[in-house]
Chains A and B, each alone.
Chain A
Amino acid sequence: MDSTMNRRKSFDPGRLIIILLLMALAVSTIFPFIWMASTSVKSMGEILGSPQRLLPVHYDFSTYTKIWSEVPFGRYFVNSLVFSCSVVIIALFLNSLAGYAFARLQFKGRGLLFVLILCTMMIPFQVTMTPLFLIIYKLGMIDTYQGLIIPRAADAFGIFMMRQFFLTLPRDLEESGRIDGASEFRIFFQIMLPLCKPAFVTLGVFIFMGNWNDLLYPLLMTNSEQFRPIQAAIALFAGKYGTDYSFVLTGLLLASIPTLVAYLFAQRFFVSGIAMTGIK
Chain B
Amino acid sequence: MKWKALAWNKSAVGYLFILPSLVVMTVFVIVPLLFSLISSLFSFDIMLHNFKFIGFDNYHAVLDDDRFWNSLKNTVYFVCGNVPLQIALSILVAVAINKRSRLNIVFRTVYFLPVVCSMTIVAMAIAMMFDFNIGIVPALMRQLGLPVVDVFNDTRWAMPAIILISVYKSFGFTMIILLAALQGVPESLYEAAEIDGAGRSAMFFRITLPSIAPSIAFVVITSIIGSFQVFDQVYVTTKGGPMFKTETIVQYIYEKAFVTNEMGPGIASAILLFILILIVTMINLRMGRKAEQNF
The reply on A88 being an interface residue by CB < 8 A is no
Considering the chains assembled together, what is the distance between the CA atoms of A123 and B212 in angstroms? 28
Encoded as 1 (CB less than 8 Å from any A CB) or 0, chain B from 14 to 26 comes to 1101101110110
Give the Cβ gap from B87 to chain A, nearest Cβ, in Å. 14
- Of all chain A residues, the one with the shortest Cβ separation from B208 is A4
The reply on B134 being an interface residue by CB < 8 A is yes
- Of all chain A residues, the one with the shortest Cβ separation from B212 is A280
> B28 and A132: CB pair below 8 A?
yes
Query: Interface-forming stretch among B76-84, B155-163, B273-281?
Result: B273-281
> A184 and B13: CB pair below 8 A?
yes
Considering the chains assembled together, what is the distance between the CA atoms of A183 and B218 in angstroms? 33
Which residues of chain A from 229 to 280 have a CB within 8 Å of any chain B CB? 231, 234-235, 238, 245, 248-249, 252, 255-256, 259-260, 262-264, 267, 270-271, 273-280
What DSSP secondary structure best describes chain A's contact surface?
helix
> A151 and B118: CB pair below 8 A?
no
| B201 partner, pick from A2, A53, A54, A188, beta carbons under 8 A | A2
A residues in contact with B220, CB < 8 Å: none
- Of all chain B residues, the one with the shortest Cβ separation from A133 is B32
Considering the chains assembled together, what is the distance between the CA atoms of A50 and B48 in angstroms? 54
The reply on A107 being an interface residue by CB < 8 A is yes
B residues in contact with A4, CB < 8 Å: 95, 98-99, 182, 190, 203, 208
How many CB-defined contacts (below 8 Å) exist between A and B?
295
Considering the chains assembled together, what is the distance between the CA atoms of A4 and B117 in angstroms? 30
> B134 and A159: CB pair below 8 A?
no
Encoded as 1 (CB less than 8 Å from any A CB) or 0, chain B from 110 to 124 comes to 111111111111101
Considering the chains assembled together, what is the distance between the CA atoms of A19 and B11 in angstroms? 53
| B18 partner, pick from A2, A98, A205, A271, beta carbons under 8 A | A98
Considering the chains assembled together, what is the distance between the CA atoms of A120 and B28 in angstroms? 11
The reply on B184 being an interface residue by CB < 8 A is yes
> B212 and A102: CB pair below 8 A?
no
Considering the chains assembled together, what is the distance between the CA atoms of A113 and B18 in angstroms? 10
The reply on A1 being an interface residue by CB < 8 A is yes
B residues in contact with A53, CB < 8 Å: 136
> A32 and B120: CB pair below 8 A?
no
> B13 and A108: CB pair below 8 A?
no
Which residues of chain A from 1 to 31 have a CB within 8 Å of any chain B CB? 1-7, 14, 18-19, 21-22, 25-26, 29-30
Query: Interface-forming stretch among B51-59, B61-69, B125-133?
Result: B125-133
| A249 partner, pick from B107, B128, B140, beta carbons under 8 A | B128
> B27 and A32: CB pair below 8 A?
no
The reply on A35 being an interface residue by CB < 8 A is yes
> B18 and A131: CB pair below 8 A?
no
- Of all chain A residues, the one with the shortest Cβ separation from B15 is A107
The reply on A57 being an interface residue by CB < 8 A is no
A residues in contact with B33, CB < 8 Å: 120, 123, 127-128, 131
Q: How many residues of A contact B (CB 8 A)?
A: 102
A residues in contact with B4, CB < 8 Å: 183
Q: How many residues of B contact A (CB 8 A)?
A: 107
> A48 and B20: CB pair below 8 A?
no
A residues in contact with B12, CB < 8 Å: 107
| B29 partner, pick from A110, A120, A185, beta carbons under 8 A | A120
Encoded as 1 (CB less than 8 Å from any B CB) or 0, chain A from 127 to 159 comes to 111111011100000000000001101111001
> B120 and A151: CB pair below 8 A?
no
> A205 and B113: CB pair below 8 A?
no
> B97 and A22: CB pair below 8 A?
yes
B residues in contact with A76, CB < 8 Å: none
| A107 partner, pick from B14, B30, B236, beta carbons under 8 A | B14
Given the interface pairs A32-B126, A215-B120, the reply to whether A101 lies near B18 with Cβ below 8 Å is yes
A residues in contact with B212, CB < 8 Å: 280
Give the Cβ gap from B123 to chain A, nearest Cβ, in Å. 10
Given the interface pairs A98-B18, A271-B108, the reply to whether A151 lies near B28 with Cβ below 8 Å is yes
Considering the chains assembled together, what is the distance between the CA atoms of A42 and B204 in angstroms? 47
> A2 and B95: CB pair below 8 A?
yes
Q: Which residues of A contact B (CB under 8 A)?
A: 1-7, 14, 18-19, 21-22, 25-26, 29-30, 32-33, 35-36, 39, 47-48, 50-54, 94-95, 97-98, 100-102, 105-108, 110, 113, 116-117, 119-124, 126-132, 134-136, 150-151, 153-156, 159, 183-185, 188, 205, 209, 212-215, 231, 234-235, 238, 245, 248-249, 252, 255-256, 259-260, 262-264, 267, 270-271, 273-280
Question: Which 6 residue pairs of A and B lie closest in terms of their CB atoms, listed nearest first?
Answer: A107-B14, A2-B200, A213-B118, A101-B17, A131-B32, A154-B21
A-B contact sample (6 more), CB < 8 A, given A98-B20, A127-B253: A2-B95, A26-B106, A107-B15, A130-B263, A215-B120, A252-B125
